[in-house]
Chain A
Amino acid sequence: MSNVLAYLDPGSGSMILQIIAGGVAAVAVTAKLYWGRLMKFLRIRKDEPEAAKAEPARGSD
C-alpha cells in the first residue's frame, strides 16, 4: 500500500497560503542578506564580533 498521504488534512487553502507567505518570507530573507552584504561593503556596518566566550565553568557543589 503506497501511503504517501499524511493522516492529517493539510487544508488546500492552508497550503496555498504557505506558498504566498513563504514566498514573501523567502524574498525578505534574501533581501536582508544582500542588504547586510551591501552595508558591509559600504563599511557602514562592521563584521559582527565573535560571540563572547562562554564564562568559565564555575565550581559546582
Chain B
Amino acid sequence: MSSHAQTPASQDLEPGSFRDPESRVFYAGDEVYRALSPDGLSDFEALRESGLLDDERVVRTELAEDAAALRGLLVHEPAAVLRHERIPFVSYPYEWTFSMLKDAALLQLDLLLAALDEELVLKDSTPYNVQFRGARPVFVDVGSFERIREGEPWVGYRQFCMLYLYPLLLQSLKGVPFQPWLRGSIDGIRPAEMRGLLSFRDRFRRGVFTNVFLHARLEARYADRPEQTKQEVKRVFKKELFVANVRKMRKVVDRLSWDPPEGVWTAYGERNTYTDEDARRKDEFVREVARSRDWTLVWDIGCNNGRYSRIAAEGARTVVAVDADPGPVELLYRDLRSEGGERILPLTMNLADPSPGLGWRGLERRALPDRGSPDLVLALALVHHVAISANVPVKEFVDWLASLGAAIVIEFPTREDPMVKKLLAPKREGLHPDYELDFFERTLNDAFEVERSERLESGTRVLYFARPKRG
C-alpha cells in the first residue's frame, strides 16, 4: 500500500480497483487501461479464446500494444495491458432504480452461466462491475473472468446475496428502498442482517428461506472452521451443482418485481401542472439551447419523467437524468430500455444529499462531481424544491451551479406559482424571504452571464439560459 502509492502512475490509478491483485485499472489521457498479472493474463487468454470477450454485454476490450512502463502497480510485474472502451458516465448501484439493479443482477448471472459453459467463472459478483451505457447494462470487469478450478463452489455467491439479492428483496418484499443500504455499506447487507429485516411470513417467498434464513444460520454455524469446510466442499463439489445454483438464483431474481406507487404512474403520463402553451414554449426554449452546440455531457437535475432529458439528447452525446424520486426514474428507465436508448442515463439521487466519496480513503466510489464535469445543466422546475423543501438558500444553490462551470438552463417559478404556493403552505409565514424573483435574478447575474430569458405565458415561470462568468 505504501510503496506503490508513491509512483507517478498512481495519480491515474482507479482508486476503486485494488481488491483483485490480478488486475488493476488506471487511466492515461482519455483511455482506460487494465494492467494484468501473469495469472491475470492467462485468464484473459482463456476468456479471449472462449469468444465471450466479443459478447456485446461485455465492455469492448483489446490488448494494448503500447504498454508504458507500469512498474509497481501490481504485486506481480504486469504481464500485459488491456485497453477498454470508456463508459460515458460512471454510476453506482445506490443511484440505480430497482429494474436497473435487477437487470445488472441478471446480466451478472447470465454471463456467469455463459462463462461456465466455457469452463470459466466470474470470480466475484459485485454490481460495481456493471456500468450503464444509457439504459443498457455493460459488464466492465474483464478481470473477473478466470478458469474454473476442480471442486470450486460459486465463490461470489455470498457477495451476490449481499449486493444484489438482498437489496432487491428488501424493495420487492418490504417496499423499502435499497439505495440507502447500499450507500451505507460498500459490501451490502449481511445474511444475518437481512434475516433480521424479514418476518416469519417472508420465509415462504421463493428463494427467501434458502438464501436468507438458512444462509444466515449456516454462516453462524461454520464461521469458525473455514479451512476444514473448504477441504470438504472441494471434495464433494461438482460443476453441475454450481450451474444448478446459478440457474436457481436466476429464477429467484427474475421473479422479483417492484412498481412505483400509483400516483407516480399518473404523473408520469400526464406531463405537468401548467398549460399546453407553456409546455410547448418550454420545450422550444430547451430545444434551442440543446441544438445550439454539440454538448458532451448534460445533467438534467430534477429530471422527473425525462421529458427535457430527451430534448437535450437531441443535441448531446450523453445526458445524465437525475431525480430524487426513484418512481419516475424507474419508469423512465423502463421506457429507455425498451427503446434501446444509449444516450440518456437515468439515476436517482437527492441533490441536497448527493453521493459522496465512499470506501477506502473515501475514494473507491467517487462523489458525483468527481465523475466528469457537465458542460450543460438543466435545472427545470427544481429551484423551488431545493430552496423551499430542502431549505437550501437560493444563493447557495446558484453558487453550487456556478461551481460546476457549466452553462445552465434554469427555471424559476415565482411565489404566485401553484406549486410554490403548495410548498410554502405548510411553512411559517415569512419564511424563505430569499425566494423572490428579483433576488434570484440578482444572484444569477452575479455568477452567470444570462444570455436569454423568457417568461412563460401563464406568468409564474421564468426560464433562463446562462453561461458561467469567467474568472
- A and B found bound together: yes
Looking at the assembled complex, report how far the CB atom of A42 sits from the nearest CB atom of chain B, in whole angstroms. 27
Contact B210 A21 (CB under 8 A): yes
Looking at the assembled complex, report how far the CB atom of A18 sits from the nearest CB atom of chain B, in whole angstroms. 5
Contact B155 A13 (CB under 8 A): no
Interface positions of B from 209 to 254, Cβ below 8 Å from A:
210-211, 214-215, 217-223, 225-226, 229-230, 233, 236-237, 240-242, 244-245, 247-248
Of B19, B154, B210, the residue contacting A7 (CB under 8 A) is: B19
Query: Mask for A10-36, Cβ within 8 A of B = 1, else 0?
Result: 111111111111110110010000000
Secondary structure class of chain A's binding surface, majority of residues: helix
B-chain residues with CB within 8 Å of residue A21 when the two chains form the complex: 210-211, 214, 245, 248
Secondary structure class of chain B's binding surface, majority of residues: helix
Q: Is A44 close to B, CB under 8 A?
A: no
Of B222, B242, B247, B248, the residue contacting A16 (CB under 8 A) is: B222
Interface size class of A (residues with CB under 8 A): 20 to 34
With contacts A7-B20, A13-B215, A17-B214 known, is A22 near B245, CB below 8 A?
A: yes
B-chain residues with CB within 8 Å of residue A14 when the two chains form the complex: 157-158, 161, 191, 215, 218-219
A-chain residues with CB within 8 Å of residue B22 when the two chains form the complex: 7
Interface size class of B (residues with CB under 8 A): 35 or more
B-chain residues with CB within 8 Å of residue A52 when the two chains form the complex: none
A-chain residues with CB within 8 Å of residue B210 when the two chains form the complex: 17, 20-21
Of A4, A15, A25, A26, the residue contacting B153 (CB under 8 A) is: A15
Give me the interface of B with A, judged by CB distance under 8 Å. 19-22, 39, 123-124, 149, 153-159, 161, 191, 210-211, 214-215, 217-223, 225-226, 229-230, 233, 236-237, 240-242, 244-245, 247-248
Give me the interface of A with B, judged by CB distance under 8 Å. 3-4, 6-23, 25-26, 29
- 29 A-B pairs with C-beta separation under 8 A: A3-B39, A7-B21, A7-B22, A9-B226, A10-B154, A10-B158, A11-B158, A12-B219, A12-B226, A13-B215, A13-B218, A13-B220, A13-B222, A14-B158, A14-B215, A14-B218, A15-B153, A15-B233, A17-B157, A17-B210, A17-B211, A17-B214, A17-B218, A18-B233, A18-B245, A21-B211, A23-B241, A25-B247, A26-B241
